[in-house]
């Protein structure tokens, strides 16, 4: 069968590589961030490292494992820093995200075997075969919320001659995936225990609906309810003699509360490495919100002919829009950002303090995860200097 446009000519790759080379080229002097073509994702490396260390330290102090979710950054560069800061392993949303991260870490010279948790259930024979193959290259844990999913994976592992570990995914109120009662949890656990190529180690209970609740008291009450539900399933499994060594879940918005509540043995937060406007709005000065905004979308003013606003080069294609508009971080004379089409945005400014053509404007993304997925690179900076560039290794890997 012939394919169109799926050849290995790699035009896209060449264009992207040239773009990076044009900035970093033969570096005989420091590269200024102004040299980065916009719109671009810019990461302050020191703030990134501080965020990574802060979460690692919190988990370490509480005696809880940390398995950061890579869905937020999709980058082997960031994952490696998280592992080197003491993470037990990584969480991945999708199989191809995990495949890309495992390969990216190896390419990066990371020679330790990584423990990977797939936090979404797999369906069907082909994905199960891919997972069984991936299990050659990492210690693979997979959540399941249906005994048939356990069987599919068990058959694939037997064919490939590899092993994996099952966690029962429990719906703690989000209503997205996960068993909804104890009988279903027991059925999943039993199928895993029965399968030669599988181990069973515990449960996942991720409360996505909790993460952005405004007000710590409200967030805590709702988190407690979800964790009580999860505890109930753990108790039932233990009463039926299943050994539970891992109870995983939590995100940036509940991490501090999860540690205090004490049901989870493992945290899987993602956004804390970068943060975003949605999280800053929800968490305010709460302890869960004490992470720095390390990620910005940098844009350039491309037209400045009107009093009261200018046009910048970042529009709908440059960011996720599900959480509304980004917040303008600098310069001080810039006002608000408004969507202005696919390729452009409108930034307001006081008529007397106009922005000028060519000026840079930095935005705080409204929602970091799907914004990052729109870019090939993270430009790494210290102050005004570009100190490197990291690939968004698993960009688009959502299969």
Ligand X SMILES: Cc1ncc(COP(=O)(O)O)c(C=O)c1O
The span from the CA of 14 to the CA of 215, in Å, is 48
Nearer to ligand X, 209 or 327 (CB): 209
251 interacts with ligand X by CB under 6 A = yes
Measured from the CB atom, the residue of 282 and 362 that comes closer to ligand X is: 282
**Window of 57-65, 249-257, 323-331, 333-341 that interacts with ligand X by CB under 6 A:** 249-257
3 state SS of 56: helix
| Angle between helix 216-239 and helix 182-194 axes, rounded to 10 deg | 50
Shortest Å distance, C-beta 251 to ligand X: 3
Encoded tokens for 229: 């539900």
3-state helix, strand, coil in the chain (%, to 5): 40, 25, 40
**Binding test (CB under 6 A) with ligand X, winner from 202, 207, 270, 326:** 270
Which stretch in 49-57, 250-258, 286-294, 373-381 sits in contact with ligand X by CB under 6 A?
A: 250-258
Is residue 223 within the footprint of ligand X (CB under 6 A)? no
Residue 72 or 300 with smaller CB distance to ligand X: 72
Residues 276-295 within binding reach of ligand X (CB under 6 A): none
From the list 75, 115, 268, 393, which residue makes contact with ligand X (rule: CB under 6 A)? 268
| Pairing verdict, β 295-306 and 266-267 | unpaired
Please state, in angstroms and rounded to a whole number, the distance separating the CA atoms of residues 220 and 386: 40
211 binds ligand X (CB under 6 A): yes
Site string for ligand X, 380-399 (x = CB under 6 A): --------------------
CA-to-CA distance for 168 and 249, rounded, in angstroms?
Answer: 12
Q: Which of residues 330-389 bind ligand X (CB under 6 A)?
A: none
184 binds ligand X (CB under 6 A): no
Indicate left, alpha or beta for 224 from its phi (over 0: left) and psi (-120 to 50: alpha). alpha
Out of 69, 191, 344, 360, which residue is the one contacting ligand X (CB under 6 A)?
Answer: 69
Q: Which of 271, 278, 294, 371 binds ligand X (CB under 6 A)?
A: 271
Q: DSSP string spanning 7-38?
A: SS--HHHHHHHHHHHHHHSS-SSPEEGGGS-S
Query: Closer to ligand X at the Cβ: 271 or 311?
Result: 271
Taking the least distance from each CB to ligand X, the nearer of 242 and 274 is: 274
**Shortest spacing between CB 92 and ligand X, in angstroms:** 10
Among 86, 173, 208, 232, binds ligand X (CB under 6 A): 208
- Helix (H) or strand (E) segment spanning residue 348: strand 345-349
- Torsion over CA: 315, 34, 394, 207 (sign): negative
> CA triplet 294, 297, 299: central angle to 5 degrees?
140
Q: Report if residue 252 touches ligand X, rule: CB under 6 A.
A: yes
Residues binding ligand X (CB under 6 A): 69, 71-72, 91, 119, 206, 208, 211, 251-253, 268-271
């Amino acid at each position: 069968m012939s394919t169109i446009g799926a050849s290995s000519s790699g035009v896209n790759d060449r264009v992207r590589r040239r773009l990076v080379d044009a900035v970093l080229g033969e570096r005989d002097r420091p590269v200024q961030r102004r040299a980065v073509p916009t719109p671009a994702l810019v990461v302050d490396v020191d703030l990134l490292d501080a965020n990574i260390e802060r979460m690692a330290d919190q988990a370490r102090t509480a005696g809880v494992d940390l398995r950061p979710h890579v869905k937020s950054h999709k980058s082997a560069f960031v994952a490696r820093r998280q592992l080197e800061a003491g993470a037990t392993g990584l969480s991945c949303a999708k199989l191809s995200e995990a495949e890309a991260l495992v390969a990216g870490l190896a390419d990066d010279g990371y020679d330790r075997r990584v423990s990977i948790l797939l936090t979404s259930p797999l369906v069907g024979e082909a994905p199960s075969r891919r997972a069984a193959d991936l299990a050659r290259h990492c210690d693979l844990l997979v959540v399941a919320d249906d005994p048939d999913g356990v069987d599919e994976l068990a058959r694939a592992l037997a064919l490939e001659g590899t092993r994996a570990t099952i966690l029962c995914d429990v719906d703690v109120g989000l209503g997205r995936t996960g068993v909804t009662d104890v009988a279903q949890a027991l059925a999943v656990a039993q199928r895993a225990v029965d399968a030669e190529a599988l181990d069973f180690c515990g449960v996942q209970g991720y409360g996505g609906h909790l993460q952005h609740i405004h007000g710590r008291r409200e967030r805590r009450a709702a988190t407690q309810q979800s964790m009580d539900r999860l505890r109930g399933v753990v108790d039932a499994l233990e009463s039926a003699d299943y050994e539970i060594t891992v109870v995983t879940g939590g995100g940036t918005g509940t991490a501090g509360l999860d540690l205090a509540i004490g049901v989870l043995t493992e945290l899987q937060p993602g956004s804390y490495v970068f943060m975003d406007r949605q999280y800053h709005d929800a968490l305010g000065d709460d302890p869960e919100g004490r992470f720095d905004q390390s990620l910005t979308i940098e844009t350039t003013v491309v037209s400045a002919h009107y009093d009261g606003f200018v046009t910048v080069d970042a529009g709908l294609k440059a960011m996720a829009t599900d959480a509304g508009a980004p917040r303008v971080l600098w310069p001080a004379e810039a006002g608000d950002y408004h969507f202005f089409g696919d390729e452009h945005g409108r930034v307001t400014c006081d008529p007397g303090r106009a922005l000028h053509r060519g000026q840079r404007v930095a935005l705080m993304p409204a929602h970091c995860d799907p914004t990052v997925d729109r870019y090939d690179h993270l430009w790494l900076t210290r102050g005004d200097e570009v100190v490197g560039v990291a690939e968004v290794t698993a960009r688009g890997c959502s299969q």
